[in-house]
Structure formats: structure tokens, C-alpha cells
Amino acid sequence: MIVQKSFSGERNSQAGTLYIVGTPIGNLEDMTYRAVRTLREADLIAAEDTRQTRKLLTHFEISTRLVSYHEHNKHNSGPELIRLLQAGQSIALVSDAGMPAISDPGADLVRDAISQQIPVVPIPGPNAALSALVVSGQSTERFLFAGFPPRDRKPLQAFLTELQYEQATVLLYESPHRLVKTLHAVREVWGNRELALVRELTKRHEEVARGTVEEALEFLAEHPPQGEYCIVIGGAAAGDRPDQAEQAFWKDWTLTRHVAYYEEQSGDRKEAMKKAAADRRMSKRDVYSRVLEEQEDT
């Protein structure tokens, strides 16, 4: 194993340090003293959005050189940042808001630095998912951060099906224009779970809406989504997971094949849809709609 001792001096003195610096997710008062000092003392700040970060630096009177590092230029700028770190420069990595490297291209830079035995040091700061979790009212004993759900219907269904029997609280990020679509899919696959919709954390319009998936959809029908959301969804109950052998026979099937399996046994298509709906914890109406969609796609 390669062991990093961040503060002991037992390290390659020739290499610089990559600092992963947490910044406010809205309220600038959440900036830590250590984060300000690190950004001032670094040789370079690598930012996902230089315009956004420049506002932060101006507020705290930080004049450190700023460069761009984001999803679309990481393959070009990443190697250059590694070269500078190997030459002994210290670099502070920041994202638009919160902790870098979480659903963020910074994770690639961290991996590249580690592969070159360059020290990587966290400077803790705000995080939207954890902040949402602790105000959600859902269990904090175990939780799973699953990032942004897929945009398209089929990948989204597969994503939710994979997590259907997860007993930990599930944390998702979602944009306002996809929120309702995602919640409909959650209700279809997971049922009417308890959840919290958390938006605009630490900002003027911070809001936490707690209830069931159906109540959330009713609420959003009257109050259209605004701002970025963290969805905190209660985990599956311990008894929800079917027997592994029972689950195995249909879990990789399309819904059309699932219905056909029961129809071959009973000769009754309505009964087949009812059984498939029970297996997947879906409504019969949703099963009917999904089967029609699958047939149209083939």
C-alpha cells in the first residue's frame, strides 16, 4: 500500500499538493477560515466555472491565479495540472459550489494525482446532499448517494430497478425541469415512498417539502419546480425484497416478456398483467402503458 501522511512531512518533497477545497453552496458565511487560507496560499486555483469562482475570490480578497478545469476540457487541462503538481506547485481544486469531486470531473484529477503519488488533501466544506439528508427527517443510519438519475426513460427505469430494494436512504440530485418526470418514475418502480424535496439550500428561498411521492407530485402541480433539488427518499422496508430465486426469474426480462410468461400459464392477459404488476410493485395501468411503449420501440 502507498500511505499518505498529509501533515507529518513524510512525503515526496519534490511534488506539490492537490487540495480539494469545499466552498459555499449558497451562503458565503459558510466559507471556512481554512478554505480561505488554502486558496490564498495555493500557487494555482483550478475551477469548474472561473466566472463563478472569481466572484467568491473577489469577496474574500483572494488574488491567486485562476485556471479552468471542467468536464469539457479535463483531458487537456488535467495532464497540465499534474505536470505542475509534479514540479512542486500546490493547486486548490474547487467546483461551482460544495465539495469538488462529488458527481464532478474533479474525481478524475484526484485519481490522476494519486496514480502519480501526489498528495491529495481535503479541505472540508458544505455539501448539498448531506445537508439535505440531515433536515429531511429520513433515516441517517445508512444512506446512499446516487447522483443524478439518467435522463431517458429506459435507463431511468433500469437505474431505479437496480436500487428498488436498497434499505438505505437514497439521495438524488435533480434539475427542476426533470424533477416531476423522475418522481413519476420513482412512484412507478418504488411505490409511494416517504421523501423530502430540498432546494436552494442556504439561500434566501431554501425550502424542504416532506411527504410521500404522491403528495410531492400534487405539491409540484401547484408549485412548479424552481432551482436545483436534492431528493431524499426513504429506503425499502426489510421485508420488501423478494426471495432471490423468485426475483431471478424475471429481473432481466422486459415487461413484455414478463407479462407473456404469465399469459402462457393462465391464458388470461389481464391476469398476467396483474401478476407482473405485483412482482414489480407497479400499477396495472402502468404495466399496460409500458408494454405498449416496448412494443412500439420494437
Domain 129-233 has CATH 3.30.950.10: yes
Q: Give the mean pLDDT of the chain.
A: 90
The distance in angstroms from the start CA to the end CA of the chain is 50
> Which residues of the chain form CATH 3.40.1010.10?
18-126
Find out whether 176 and 229 touch, Cβ atoms under 8 Å: yes
> Which residues of the chain form CATH 3.30.950.10?
129-233
Name the residue among 104, 67, 70 with its Cα closest to residue 89.
Answer: 67
Report percent pLDDT > 70 for the chain.
Answer: 94
Q: Cell match 451562503: residue?
A: 27
* Spatial distance between the Cα atoms of 124 and 143, rounded to a whole number of angstroms: 19
* Spatial distance between the Cα atoms of 74 and 123, rounded to a whole number of angstroms: 22
Measured from the Cβ of residue 296, the count of other Cβ atoms closer than 10 Å reads: 7
Q: pLDDT, tens digit, for every residue of 185-205?
A: 999 999 999 999 999 999 999
| CATH annotation of 18-126 | 3.40.1010.10
The better pLDDT of the pair 141, 13 is held by 141
Find out whether 242 and 250 touch, Cβ atoms under 8 Å: no
Least reliable range by pLDDT among 62-76, 217-231, 240-254, 283-297: 240-254
Q: How far is CA 241 from the centre of its chain?
A: 24
**Residue 251 reports pLDDT greater than 80:** no
Average pLDDT, integer, range 136-147: 95
- Bridge partners, 194 (sequence order): 212
Name the residue among 124, 127, 120 with its Cα closest to residue 147.
Answer: 127
What Å distances lie between residue 68 and 48, 73, 116, 233, CA to CA?
A: 6, 8, 21, 35
